[in-house]
Structure 1
Amino acid sequence: MNTKAFIYFDEFGNSHLDTESKKGTFSHFIYTAFVIDGNDLEKAKDIREELSKKYREGSPLKSSKLNIDNRLAIISKIKEVPFAIFSLVIDKRKIDNKNLEDKTVFYKFFQRLFLTQFVEKYESFEIYFDKLGGQEFQNSLRNYISNRVFSPTLFNPDRKYVIADDKFEEPLIQLADLFSGSVGKIYCTSHKDKNADKIFDAINDCLFVDFFPNSTSQYLGKYNKELDISDKKVAKLCIDIVQKKLSQNETSIEESELLKHLLLVFKTDPYRLAETHDLVDIIRRVHPKATVEYVREIISSLRYKGIIIVSIEGKYGYKIPNKKNDLIGYYNRYLKSIIPMLKKMRIANETIRKEHFDIDIFNEHENFHLIQKFINVLEYENIE
């Protein structure tokens, strides 16, 4: 953007950190910014007004009031102006800072985290946020941003942060609401929409997503790390396997839901793991009593069907492989279990044979002779 950036941001979810005791509580809190160049400001305003009249009889565009067809049509129309969507997806279940249980502290902390990027990216900008809470809260938030994030300076005088009403004062905040709701329907697993894949496909070309906590890089949605040819082949192969199984209806409802979520995570960032508790939330939509153990059973079943799903040692979650090292790690994890098991069985059998030479479990029971063959390979190859 060559001129002033106009940034409109809104939220999805709430600041309540107790996500377990109250049914329907949001698992995630999401900030989303709709960012356009000053040159496109008037056209964006005209489009918003046109959409408001067409789909809401002149009332504000509200994400919560739109069905999937209207949502996609509106997004398509807005694309007549260049824009970008920046989102910060906060997993509230991972927050253990007691200070953030206070609503004011929560909003200040995450607005600072979210808005800092724009200060670094743009020299000249105006940021607009929808009115929230009472006047005291708004003043406190406005003062905090001015003191801790940015304020006009001699070298950057054209910077503004405004808390405004989205109906009369700054209607373009309605577009931030639209996209924040859209992103929420994709990434908030407790409230994920059945059409999340369609929404993702509609906005992915202009979407930049960051995650809190444990983010691995800034805006992974447009991660451009180069992979070698073998890695690209692995990624394509593993994705093709998943898509083929889904298209051939070779999976159960629970398995399909899990695979669709893994695909979504892969499209967002192929390096990112799908959190186990997110997968539980996804499966509970079709199997209300799903647990972590049940998710593991589903993943085991999918692996037996030839679908490659890997986990990373020392981390929680699962992913579709996007590079050769994912497969190496996958095989190595099993190897680390198999070899110690074989060694323990060898030691046990040797101890028994020393004391009771006439007892030979390996040869006396069906299939156990295979264990002896595996042990022979270990000893011959001197595998540790």
Structure 2
Amino acid sequence: MMQNRIAYLSEWGNNSLDFSKKSPTGQLASTHFIVTAIVTGNEGLAQALSILEAVQKRYFNRNNIDSDVIGNDHVKRREILEDLHEVDFKIFALIVDKRQLIGQGLRFKGSLFKFMHGLADRELSGLFPDLELVTNQPGDESFMKGLISYVQQNHISNLFNESTFGFTKVQNNLLVQTAGFIAGSLARCYDETVITDQRTEFIDILKRKLLTIKFWPDAFEQNLANLPEPGPHYDPLLAELSVKLANGFLSRKSSDRAQQSIDQVSCLGYLLFHFRHINPTRYITSFELMEHVGARRGKNVSLHYFQTKVIAPLRDAGVLVASSSRGYKLPASQQDLYDFVSHSNTIIEPMLSRVKKFRDQIVVATDGRLDILAADEYKLIRKVVD
């Protein structure tokens, strides 16, 4: 797993808040502002750069890996994203709907970037307190220039444990360019000025590398996934309840730095993202969820830990998590609920049967003098098996 993590940062979008007209340069105000980070370690850097150099040569004629160069060539973008899957990194993304900021009193360009600086710093430092950050050489009025200043002045000694930004020119750093390409690809999934019908394909590829993706506001009104028609496999009211309860837990626990809470938030965030942006009817395997939790904490977790310290506490907290032999998901239909009950029954019923046989043998052997279920703490089991 990754140690001594380094995040290569880039962004997409502009700071215009006037969505009614184009700028003097003819540029539309982006509806979203996106910050991405490619998170990796030093140990696989040489191999990563080798793959990225091949991507640069194949698709960009040895020039910068640039999302704008690909533009609306969605076939080529998909091919590039598939090739990037071979590189050992994880993706952090922060996606802000700028249209919602006006209601928060942020009507000026400067206030937008200041808000984003605090938000990006909080999310990144909360994810990895010991993260080293690298970006391109920023311009004087750029978002990154302000973010670097914000971290250095306010949080570097505390939140980042003396980690520092490293500076590199964008044309000389393929990982920063890759972060920019991914930001541009995410824009085509969410920003109204460049959104494309291929967005679900892009998200499906990117989610394999996803470490975490944060949205502001916390929940967009629209789901990216194509929702099924209401029926046996999809109940809108149940789906809404699942999302509401999941968001409630994330809101309460996202700032909790206890490791188990971090793992629970990581797992639930992945379930929620998949539910809202990939496919609300698909189960996610234990292995995929454990891999995601392990990627964030920096080491693998056991199945026992995952079941008892991640999934079980989520359910104890009132989050609806359905499970079956296919894995886990947020429930979106009655069948999902029945799957959970049926799966639980395959575990509970045999266990109760074994307890009953064990008890009966002891009762017979002791002529009724010893009943191992006689204690008050076992009265529920006693009531079931009697």
1:15 Cα deviation from its structure 2 partner: 0.9
Distance in 1, Cα, partners of 2:94 & 2:104: 20
Aligned residue for 2:130?
Answer: 124
**Paired AA for residue 62 in structure 2:** G
Cα distance between partner residues in 1 of 2:104 and 2:234: 41
Q: What is residue 78 of structure 1 aligned with on the other side?
A: 84
Is residue 2:101 matched to residue 1:95?
yes
- 1:213 matched residue in structure 2: 217
- After TM superposition, the structure 1 stretch with the greater mean CA deviation from structure 2, 55-64 or 195-204, is 195-204
SS at match of 1:194: coil
Query: Which amino acid in 1 is paired with 2:234?
Result: C
1:58 aligned onto 2:54: no
Residue number among 198, 203, 207 corresponding to 2:201 in the alignment = 198
1:108 is the counterpart of 2:118: no
- Between the aligned residues of both structures, percent identity stands at 24
Structure 1 distance, partners of 2:277, 2:145, is 40
What residue identity is the alignment partner of 1:45?
Answer: L
Output the CA distance in 2 between the equivalents of 1:30 and 1:63: 13
Q: Indicate if the aligned counterparts of 2:234 and 2:333 stay in contact, CA closer than 8 A.
A: no
Within the candidate set 37, 42, 47, 2:46 is matched to 42
In 2, distance between residues paired with 1:166 and 1:172?
9
CA distance in 2, matches of 1:193, 1:94: 21
Q: Secondary structure at the match of 1:167?
A: helix
What is the alpha-carbon distance in structure 2 between the residues aligned to residue 68 and residue 136 of structure 1?
28
Q: CA deviation at 1:40?
A: 1.8
Equivalents in 2 of 1:132, 1:236: separation in Å?
A: 53
Q: 1:264 to 1:135 in 2, by over 3 A?
A: closer
Which of residues 176, 182, 185 is equivalent to 2:185? 182
Counterpart contact for 2:203–2:277, Cα < 8 Å: no
Higher Cα Rg, which structure: 1
Q: Distance in 1 between matches of 2:40 and 2:114?
A: 24
**Superposition RMSD on alpha carbons, in Å?**
3.8
Cα distance 1:198–1:210, how it changes in 2: closer, same or farther (>3 A)? same
Cα deviation for residue 79 of structure 1 reads 1.7
CA contact (8 A) 1:4 1:38 kept: yes
The alignment partner of 1:115 has SS state of helix
CA shift in 2, pair 1:162/1:152, >3 Å = farther
Following superposition, the deviation at residue 151 of structure 1 comes to 3.4
Greater shift, 74-83 or 135-144, is seen at 135-144
TM-fit CA distance, 1:161: 1.7
Equivalent pairs counted in the alignment come to 238
Compute the displacement of 1:237 (Å).
1.0
Change (3 A) 1:141 1:64: same
Contact (CA 8 Å) 2:200, 2:278: kept in 1 or not? no
Runs of 4+ in 1 over 6 A off after TM superposition: 135-138
The one-letter code sitting in structure 2 at the alignment partner of 1:50 is: A
Match of 1:134 among 140, 147, 161: 140
**TM-fit CA distance, 1:49:** 1.3
Give the alignment's TM-score, normalised by structure 2: 0.53
Q: Indicate if the aligned counterparts of 1:112 and 1:149 stay in contact, CA closer than 8 A.
A: no
**Kept after mapping to 1: 8 A contact 2:8/2:37:** yes
Whole-Å separation in 2 of the counterparts to 1:323 and 1:99: 39
TM-superposed CA distance for 1:147, in Å, is 2.1
Q: Deviations over 1:335-369 (max 9, x none)?
A: xxxxxxxxxxxxxxxxxxxxxxxxxxxxxxxxxxx
Structure 1 segments unaligned to the other structure (5+ residues): 222-233, 240-262, 272-320, 325-384
| Structure 2 unaligned spans of 5+ | 225-229, 236-272, 282-330, 335-386
Counterpart position of 2:349: none
TM-score (norm 1): 0.53
> For residue 87 of structure 2, what is the amino acid of its counterpart?
V
- Tell me which residue corresponds to 2:21: 21
Name the counterpart of 1:156: 161
Letter in 2 for 1:11: E
1:33 aligned to which of 31, 37, 42:
37
* Alpha carbons 1:33, 1:86 under 8 Å: kept: yes
Amino acid at match of 2:150: Y
> Which residue does 1:4 correspond to in 2?
4
Aligned-pair distance for 1:50?
A: 1.5
Structure 2: distance between partners of 1:59 and 1:173: 14
Counterpart secondary structure, 2:40? strand
Contact 1:138 1:163 in 2 (8 A): no
